[in-house]
């Protein structure tokens, strides 16, 4: 309580805890699978300490004047990765839904931690930095998890977290500052940018930021569709950024990983994803479409009560 009341003490505590959580996520768990000395008790103790530190960080940053509108949430995932996020209340502007962290993003984040290579989080064969794009990043959970996985595993990468609403982008920057130490390991570059899906659907966008100049190896998205128009807009955006693998190329195949909640009142939006990304009906035609679908049951305490399950799509060029 004293640290929270004293501005100097609070700022010092926030900086120290941010550094500790960021470094511990990488250094403590970077070699767990290779060091025999890391028994289960030791790993459990490290995870407990990291979780407690993240909770303390949330307490230090959750100030009384923000309590009515802001919530600090700690997400403890597999392999010791812990993320602190500020969720803000959605006001009258329904387009700012990205101010909250939704259950679908947490489910996808867990899957990414359990099997990073299944989501393309592996070194690029050429040795160049991996390029990762998150659409509708919201509070930034997926981008932050990808950042910590790659830094932990020593994989160089350029990560671009995007959204459209100004207040969401501001909160996204705040969440990255909560989780990423200024002395974060070299090799992982993070960029936060505005991106308008509709512009890709209606015309070829011009004057894009230089961070968008090259295609991406991995595209991530969680709970993106809130209007049936969004799915075709997203498809046009993904077509622009997801490369078609050239014959004879050693490059890994690039995929778009999208997760959606299966809410009873959300059927039209979910159906629009299947329609927009339907596999090509033309033989031998190159088309961006759904390659795999997995339905995942809701975990207790995760997501909204009206989300009995989630649908995970793996989308790529046929």
**pLDDT for the residue 204:** 72
Q: Dump pLDDT digits (tens) for 228-287.
A: 999 999 999 999 999 998 777 878 999 999 999 998 888 999 999 999 999 877 766 689
Query: Torsion angle, CA of 239/259/193/144, rounded to 10 degrees?
Result: -130
Average pLDDT over the chain, rounded to whole?
82
**pLDDT for the residue 251:** 83
Query: Torsion angle, CA of 100/104/106/112, rounded to 10 degrees?
Result: -140
**pLDDT for the residue 131:** 98
* Reported confidence tier of residue 11, pLDDT bands at 50, 70, 90: low
| Residue 94 CB contacts under 8 Å (≥ 6 apart), including other chains | 226
**Is residue 33 predicted with pLDDT exceeding 50?**
no
CA distance 119 to 219: 9
CA distance 22 to 122: 20
**pLDDT for the residue 34:** 44
**Is residue 316 predicted with pLDDT exceeding 90?**
yes
Q: In this structure, what are the phi and psi dihedrals at residue 36, rounded to the nearest 5 degrees? A: -65, -25
Query: Torsion angle, CA of 229/230/235/238, rounded to 10 degrees?
Result: 150
Q: Would you kindly state where each structural domain of the chain is located, as residue ranges? A: 89-317
Q: In this structure, what are the phi and psi dihedrals at residue 10, rounded to the nearest 5 degrees? A: -65, -45
Give alpha helix (H) positions in the chain.
Answer: 2-5, 7-27, 40-61, 103-114, 141-152, 166-179, 197-202, 230-241, 267-276
Average pLDDT, integer, range 85-105: 70
Closest CA to 225 of 132, 124, 308, 104: 104
What's the CATH architecture for 89-317? 3-Layer(aba) Sandwich (3.40)
Full-model pTM: 0.78
* Reported confidence tier of residue 9, pLDDT bands at 50, 70, 90: low
Q: Dump pLDDT digits (tens) for 145-198.
A: 999 999 999 999 999 999 999 999 999 999 999 998 876 667 899 999 999 999
- For residue 273, the SS3 value is helix
* Reported confidence tier of residue 211, pLDDT bands at 50, 70, 90: very high
Give the burial class of 39: count Cβ atoms within 10 A of its Cβ; 0-12 exposed, 13-18 middle, 19 or more buried.
exposed
Q: Dump pLDDT digits (tens) for 34-66.
A: 444 456 556 556 656 755 666 566 556 554 444
Q: What is the β-pairing status of strands 70-76 and 82-88?
A: antiparallel
């Amino acid at each position: 309580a004293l640290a929270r009341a004293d501005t100097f003490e609070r700022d010092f505590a926030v900086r120290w805890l941010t550094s500790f959580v960021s470094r511990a996520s990488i250094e403590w768990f970077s070699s767990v699978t290779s060091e025999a000395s890391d028994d289960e008790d030791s790993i459990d103790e490290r995870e407990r300490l990291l979780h407690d530190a993240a909770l303390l960080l949330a307490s230090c940053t959750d100030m009384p004047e923000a309590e009515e509108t802001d919530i600090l949430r700690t997400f403890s995932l597999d392999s010791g990765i812990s993320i602190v996020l500020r969720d803000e209340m959605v006001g009258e502007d329904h387009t700012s839904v990205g101010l909250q962290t939704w259950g679908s993003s947490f489910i996808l984040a867990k899957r990414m931690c359990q099997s990073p290579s299944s989501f393309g989080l592996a070194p690029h064969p050429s040795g160049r930095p991996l390029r990762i794009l998150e659409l509708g990043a919201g509070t930034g959970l997926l981008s932050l998890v990808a950042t910590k996985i790659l830094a932990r595993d020593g994989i160089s990468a350029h990560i671009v977290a995007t959204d459209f609403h100004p207040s969401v982008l501001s909160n996204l920057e705040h969440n990255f500052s909560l989780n990423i130490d200024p002395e974060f390991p070299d090799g992982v570059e993070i960029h936060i940018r505005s991106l308008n899906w509709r512009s890709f659907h209606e015309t070829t966008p011009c004057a894009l930021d230089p961070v968008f100049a090259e295609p991406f190896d991995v595209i991530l998205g969680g709970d993106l569709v809130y209007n049936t128009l969004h799915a075709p807009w997203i498809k046009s955006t993904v077509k622009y950024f997801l490369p078609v693998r050239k014959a004879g190329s050693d490059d890994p195949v690039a995929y778009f990983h999208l997760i959606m909640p299966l809410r009873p009142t959300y059927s039209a939006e979910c159906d629009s994803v299947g329609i927009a990304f339907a596999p090509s009906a033309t033989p031998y035609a190159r088309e961006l479409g759904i390659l795999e679908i997995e339905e995942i049951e809701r975990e207790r305490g995760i997501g909204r009560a009206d989300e009995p399950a989630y649908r995970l799509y793996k989308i790529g060029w046929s």
